[in-house]
Structure 1
Amino acid sequence: MESSMLQTCTNLIQNAKNIVVLTGAGISTESGIKDFRSQTGIYQMAPEYILSLDNFYHDPAGFYQFAIENLYHPEALPNQGHEILAQWETNGKVSHIITQNIDGLHQKAGSVKVIEFHGTMKTASCQNCGNTYSTEEMITRLNTMEDFYVCDHCSTPAKNERYIKPDVVLFGDTGEWFTMEGFNEVINIIHQADCLLVLGTSLKVTPFSTFPQYRREGTPLIIVNKGDSPYDNSKDSYVIHESIGKTLIKIDHHINPPIS
Structure 2
Amino acid sequence: MDTSIEQFKNIIANSNKITFFTGAGVSVASGVPDFRSMGGLFDEISKDGYSPEYLLSTNYLQDDPKGFVDFYHKRLLVADKQPNLVHQWIAQLEQDKRSLGVITQNIDGLHADAGSSNVDELHGTLNRFYCIDCHKQYSKNEVMTEDIRQCDVCGNPIRPDIVLYGEMLNQNTISRAINKIREANTLVVLGSSLVVQPAAGLISYFEGQNLIIINKDTTPYDSDADLVINDDMVSVVESVTR
| Both proteins in one fold, TM over 0.5 | yes
Distance in 2 separating the partners of 1:123 and 1:30: 23
Report if aligned partners of 1:123, 1:135 keep a CA contact under 8 Å in 2. Answer: yes
- Residue number in structure 2 paired with 1:7: 6
Aligned residue in 2 for 1:67: 72
Change (3 A) 1:129 1:209: same
Shift of 1:174: 3.1
- Give yes or no for the alignment of 1:164 onto 2:155: no
Corresponding residue of 1:250: 239
Following superposition, the deviation at residue 137 of structure 1 comes to 4.1
1: CA distance, partners of 2:168 / 2:177: 15
Find the aligned partners of 1:135 and 1:241 in 2 and give their Cα distance: 34
Partner of residue 48, structure 2: none
**Which residue of structure 1 aligns with residue 153 of structure 2?**
153
Task: Return 5+ residue gaps in structure 2 as ranges.
Answer: 46-50
Other structure's SS at 2:74 match:
helix
Residue 125 (str. 1) matches residue 130 (str. 2): yes
CA–CA distance in 2 between the matches of 1:141 and 1:110? 26
User: Structure 1 residue 215 and structure 2 residue 206: aligned?
Assistant: yes
In 2, the alpha carbon distance for the partners of 1:57 and 1:12 equals: 48
Q: In structure 2, the residue corresponding to 1:31 is in which secondary structure?
A: coil
The count of residues paired between Structure 1 and Structure 2 equals 235
**Judging changes above 3 Å, is the alpha-carbon distance between structure 1 residues 135 and 62 closer, same or farther for their aligned structure 2 residues?**
farther
Percent identity, aligned pairs only, is 37
Cα shift at 1:29: 0.7
CA distance in 2, matches of 1:127, 1:185: 26
Which residue pairs with 2:217 in the alignment? 227
The correspondence of residues 193-212 of structure 1 with structure 2, limited to 5 A, is 193-212=184-203
Shift of 1:115: 1.7
Q: Is residue 34 of structure 1 aligned with residue 27 of structure 2?
A: no
How far 1:34 moved relative to its partner? Answer: 0.5
Give the 4+ runs in structure 1 shifted more than 6 A: none
CA distance in 2 between partners of 1:63 and 1:227 (Å): 33
How much does 1:71 deviate? Answer: 1.8
Aligned counterpart, 2:97: 92
Give distance in 1, aligned partners of 2:74 and 2:26.
20
Give the TM-score, by structure 2 length: 0.88
Q: CA deviation at 1:136?
A: 4.6
Checking the alignment, whether the CA contact within 8 Å between 2:91 and 2:116 is kept in structure 1 is: yes
Q: Distance in 2 between matches of 1:223 and 1:210?
A: 14
Q: For residues 237 and 66 of structure 1, what CA distance do their matches in structure 2 show?
A: 42
For residues 14-59 of structure 1, the C-alpha deviation after alignment (integer angstroms, 9 at most, x for no partner) is 2111100011111111011111111111111223222112112222
Contact 1:231–1:237, Cα closer than 8 Å, also in 2 = no
Per the alignment, residue 192 of structure 1 pairs with 183
Compute the displacement of 1:97 (Å): 0.7
What are the Cα deviations for residues 56-108 of structure 1, in whole angstroms up to 9, with x where unaligned?
A: 22222222222223222222111111111122122222111111222221122
Alpha-carbon distance change, 182 to 86 in structure 1, aligned in 2, over 3 angstroms: closer
Root mean square deviation of aligned Cα: 2.1
Deviates more, 1:7-16 or 1:132-141: 132-141
Report the alpha carbon displacement of residue 13 of structure 1 after superposing the two structures with TM: 1.5
SS at match of 2:197: coil
Structure 1 partner of 2:139: 134
**Structure 1 residues 60 and 197: alpha-carbon distance in aligned structure 2, compared to 1, 3 A threshold:** same
CA contact (8 A) 2:121 2:173 kept: no
Match of 2:21 in 1: 22
Letter in 2 for 1:78: P
**CA distance, structure 2, for counterparts of residue 66 and residue 153 of structure 1:** 22
Q: Which amino acid is the alignment partner of residue 103 of structure 1?
A: D
* Alignment-derived partner of residue 258 in structure 1: none
The CA deviation at 1:152 is 4.8
SS at match of 2:212: strand
